[in-house]
Structure 1
Amino acid sequence: MKKILPILLVSCLIGYFASCEKDDICVDGDTPLLVIGFFDAIDTTLSKDVPSLRIKEVILDTVINTIVDRSSSLDSIGIPLRINASSTTFAFITDSADDSDAETGNIDTLTINYETREAFISKACGIVANYNNLNITLPENEDNWIQDISISQQTIENSNNIHVKIFH
């Protein structure tokens, strides 16, 4: 009996520690950003910086905080889409500057339409939103600094690749 008790105790401890679950750490649990690359309108293979770029979400009237505001060296950006809607409208402003409470610069307004699809990642990460059937509209105007738009990927599941190309 004295030999069985220690063996039973060790067996219980081994069983207890072996049944513990490791803590889950979320590594890939963010909703992806829409990645936009800026390219030269004449030579479409060359990336081209946008001078003093500012991007504002129109409905919320907020400046996007995923990029450096009014940076002069951006040839690609990642911007968040609204997960509780089927479209997001942005004002893309080049040569942006403040002039007595008014925004100056050349403003093009893009409306991005999409379908939101939820994806379960893991217990630690939970659910993220992915986007399908990407479509972008730009009202034509003779003052548009954006000359053309090309959608490279209709589905947004990560922020690793360019989804949309803007030519200017």
Structure 2
Amino acid sequence: MLRTGYSLFIRISSFALACILGAGALSGCEKDDICVDGDTPLLIIKFLDDENPDNAKNVNQLRVLGLGKDEAVDTFLDRSTLDSIAIPLQPGETQTTFILIQDSEDEEEMEIGNPDTVRFDYATREVFISRACGFVAQYENLESELQQGSENWIRNIEVENTSVQNLDSTHVSIFH
């Protein structure tokens, strides 16, 4: 009987120890975090009237393509008439070039409209947000360059904020 009691004690003790260790292991885990603030910011561009710089001015049938890309940027409705847009920069690069097409439309699968090419140069900085979100890219030292052409619809570009860290303000003003 002593031996049976001892065997039962060992089983109960082993079970209790396993429960304590299991509870300790589970209590070290946290609930899954939800990432709320974990998106890499987009570049905010505002279109302004070249003749009256305090007034916003729509761009008709605007299409934005990344240089060498076949698809339009998908952060706004393609071929929309807008006075501002938000577009993505390439986080692993030091520059991103876009073709901004005014009055864009397809004619027999050929793009027609007035394209202007704009390059943005920047430094990328990786910022840790949280365990749930991980790292996001932020951009510093933003500069722009308009490729000059004979029929440019863009007259001037001004960088308003050289740091792209959020979506709270305009980063670039384009006058047309």
TM-score for both structures, normalised by structure 2: 0.82
1:44 aligns with 2:39: no
Q: CA deviation at 1:58?
A: 1.0
Larger radius of gyration: 2
Aligned to 2:102: 94
Q: 1:20 and 1:119 mapped to 2: Cα distance? A: 24
SS of match in other structure, 2:136: strand
Aligned to 2:165: 157
Q: String of CA shifts for 1:48-87, please: whole Å, max 9, x gaps.
A: 1100000001123321000111112x11110001112111
Aligned to 2:79: 70
1:54 aligns with 2:63: yes
Give the aligned length: 157
Aligned to 1:130: 138
Q: String of CA shifts for 1:144-164, please: whole Å, max 9, x gaps.
A: 000011101001001121100
TM-score for both structures, normalised by structure 1: 0.86
User: Measured at CA, do residues 151 and 18 of structure 1 come closer, stay the same or move farther in structure 2, by a change above 3 Å?
Assistant: same
Q: CA RMSD in A?
A: 2.0
Q: Percent identity?
A: 47
Runs of 4+ residues deviating >2 angstroms: 15-23, 59-62
1:83 aligns with 2:123: no
Give the letter aligned to residue 59 of structure 1: G
Task: Give structure 1 stretches of 5+ with no counterpart.
Answer: 1-11
Match for residue 25 of structure 1 among 27, 30, 34: 34
1:108 aligns with 2:116: yes
Q: 1:91 and 1:142 mapped to 2: Cα distance? A: 15
